[in-house]
Amino acid sequence: MHPMAGHLAPVWFSVTDLEVVSGRGSWVTTADGTEYLDCSSGIAVTSTGHCHPKVVAAIQAQAARFIHAQVNVYRHDLLQPLADRLAELTPAGIDTFFFANSGAEATEAAVKLAKQATGRPNVIVFSGSFHGRTHLTMAMTTSKTGYRAGYQPLPAGVFVAPFPDLVGVPAEEHDAVVDRCLAAFDHLLASQTAPSETAAVVLEPQLGEGGYVPSPPRFLHGIVERCRHHGLLFVADEVQTGFGRTGRMFAVEHYGVEPDVIVMAKGIASGFPISAIGASAELMARWPTGSHGGTYGGNAIGCAAALATIEVLTEPGFLDHVVERGRQLTAGLREVMADDPGIVDVRGLGLMVGVQFAVPARVAAVQQHMLREGRVITMNAGTTGAVLRWMPPLTVSEAEIGLALAAFGAAVKATAG
Ligand code: PLP
């Protein structure tokens, strides 16, 4: 049991038993003054680090002007600037936005838009994906049974196609594995959900909770081609991959594909709960006025935090820094892998890097060692928890990555054999 358990629902699982009192940059501090290097970023959220001065100032200033200006009642003066900024940043074709509060809500909103816009009932998702904790997004989530157990039956109309697993597969066989997954997708359309009944395909460009697995380019392109061919909307769930996490503003840019709908949350506002979906004005116009909404969507402080976050993420050289730190991290992790047969893969885009171990228990042991001896906070991912995932703040320094790698190397050595 977590030491801070009184009056708090035990439904929250705990990655650490820390109680933190402040955060700054890549670090969080506990009541006794101990500092921890936060390589979780609060699950890939604190993109600009904890309490970035520009984000703090924007939140403070906005709190004094307006906290809640309910969007149906009146519109505050940051909604339009945020939509304008997102239109500049998101992939071509996306220029119109709806705001919500969490990733799950935004994913649900994307599905609701797709259903209304196409008049079709079903969606296709991929094995290993995670889209949230509401009933619909649980139905779309197959990264772990723990997310669904005890809640079934879940909403119908969600069909799951296989996502390629290339770990341990020789390079010359990768295309064949991908092609089998694409054939299975075609089979799904022929056997379970006809294109005329399928509104959208929802895909994480890099699986997040499912184990930090980037889509093979051949796979992503094959899926997008099929969406175009059958008139299915292609929805990119960039809740975890968006806002610079992969070294590009959005992960789809690595693949040169343009989604019909993009789902955004987490890193958008450095920790303030705001999420969004974007689509073309033409697609959004097919979503009848009043058929969706929410009390808090487009919250004024959330918009201020998002605008300040975007200002930081778009500073010259910022994304180059993410790419550089990602390379440093990946190279360092691969060096450790070379000396330990218990590590079977290091992969990922930018600062979204997974280390897959042969045995899940080893991940837990490595995490514990890093926390206690190195004061480094990490999380796991993957269906069995066999992946140690790295998602430090995008502002992480070279020296901080060096510290994290040293703690990882020591933990891997200490837990070997
Ligand atoms: N989609 C993806 C890809 C995610 O990683 C997550 C959360 O981890 C969600 C959706 C759900 O977001 P939230 O927890 O804000 O509801």
**Ligand 1, closest atom to CA 133?**
16
User: Residue of the nearest CA to atom 10 in ligand 1?
Assistant: 131
Residues in contact with ligand 1 (CB, 6 Å cut-off):
43, 102-104, 107, 130-132, 204, 208-209, 237, 239-240, 265
Rounded distance, CA 313 to CA 90, Å? 13
The rounded Å distance from CA 236 to ligand 1 centre is: 12
* Torsion sign, CA atoms 63, 132, 83, 116: negative
Predicted pLDDT of residue 3: 74
Looking at this protein, which amino acid is placed at residue 286?
R
Please give the average per-residue pLDDT across 251-261, as a whole number: 98
The rounded Å distance from CA 240 to ligand 1 centre is: 7
Q: Best of 130, 136, 141, 274 to mutate for ligand 1, by most ligand atoms within 8 A of CB?
A: 130
Please state the φ and ψ torsions of residue 342, each to the nearest 5 degrees: -75, -10
For residues 390 and 382, the answer to whether their CB atoms sit within 8 Å is: no
Closest CA to 234 of 243, 221, 244: 221
Predicted pLDDT of residue 1: 62
Sequence-ordered list of residues with C-beta below 8 angstroms from that of 374, at least 6 positions apart, any chain: 37, 403, 404, 406, 407, 408, 410, 411
SS3 376: strand
Threshold 0.95, pTM exceeds: yes
**Which residues on adjacent β-strands are paired with residue 50?**
25
Please give the average per-residue pLDDT across 203-224, as a whole number: 98
Rounded distance, CA 417 to CA 414, Å? 9
Query: What digits encode the pLDDT tens for the residues 315-341?
Result: 999 999 999 999 999 999 999 999 999
For residues 357 and 388, the answer to whether their CB atoms sit within 8 Å is: yes
Residue 294: alpha-carbon gap to chain centroid:
22
Mean confidence (pLDDT) of the chain: 97
Query: What digits encode the pLDDT tens for the residues 73-111?
Result: 999 999 999 999 999 999 999 999 999 999 999 999 999
Looking at this protein, which amino acid is placed at residue 217?
P
For residues 26 and 392, the answer to whether their CB atoms sit within 8 Å is: yes
The rounded Å distance from CA 109 to ligand 1 centre is: 13
Rounded distance, CA 187 to CA 192, Å? 8
